[in-house]
Amino acid sequence: MISSSDDVPISVKGVFIAETKGGSVPIVLLEDDEEKIMPIYIGPAEAVSIHMALRSEVPSRPLTHDLFVSLLNNIEYEIQKIIIDELKGNIYYAKMILENDKRCFELDARPSDCIAIAIRTGIPIFVKSEVFNQSTVEIEELGELRMMDDLT
């Protein structure tokens, strides 16, 4: 179960802070091979976790995403892929595909958690093409963005 033809492989461009009418909000930018951008607004804890993973920083104590990866390694399951597969209103949904030599199954998960775990494990991240196509924006549409580095 690696990918279907309507899955778009993406990479994480980075974690930023977007200025919105409601204030500063963390945002993760996903990018495909054609440099199309898909933004996902995320929580502050997930932003820090993703940012640390992108910078290969290891916290002195494990974050929740580190704990999850450690648990999977100890129960001998591997994550095959992450797929952001649905958009309802302004909420994205994702699945984590796990398997071992006996079983393969999907876990419902938040995209931000999936992204944080995928970066830590080096597994591929995909977005359903329908979701990706309706979610891409021009970078200018996002307004003022600050690098997460500017805050750390």
3-state secondary structure 15-80: EEEEEECCEEEEEEEEECCCCCEEEEECCHHHHHHHHHHHCCCCCCCCCHHHHHHHHHHHCCCEEE
Structure tokens, 27: 């945002």
Residue 125 lies in a domain: yes
Residue 17 lies in a domain: yes
Total number of residues shown for the chain: 152
d(CA 84, CA 107): 12
Residue 33 lies in a domain: yes
User: Could you list the residue range(s) of the whole structural domain that residue 47 is in?
Assistant: 7-151
d(CA 18, CA 25): 5
Q: What percentage of the chain has pLDDT greater than the value 70?
A: 95
Q: What is the mean pLDDT of residues 71-80?
A: 86
pLDDT tens figures, 59-75: 888 888 889 988 888 88
What's the pTM?
Answer: 0.89
**Residue 132 · residue 105 · CB < 8 Å:** no
Residue 138 lies in a domain: yes
Residue 2 lies in a domain: no
pLDDT tens figures, 16-60: 999 888 888 999 999 999 999 999 999 999 999 999 999 999 888
**For position 47, which CATH number holds?**
3.10.690.10
**Residue 15 · residue 9 · CB < 8 Å:** no
Domain count of the fold of the chain: 1
What residues contact 137, with CB distance under 8 A and at least 6 apart? 37, 38, 39
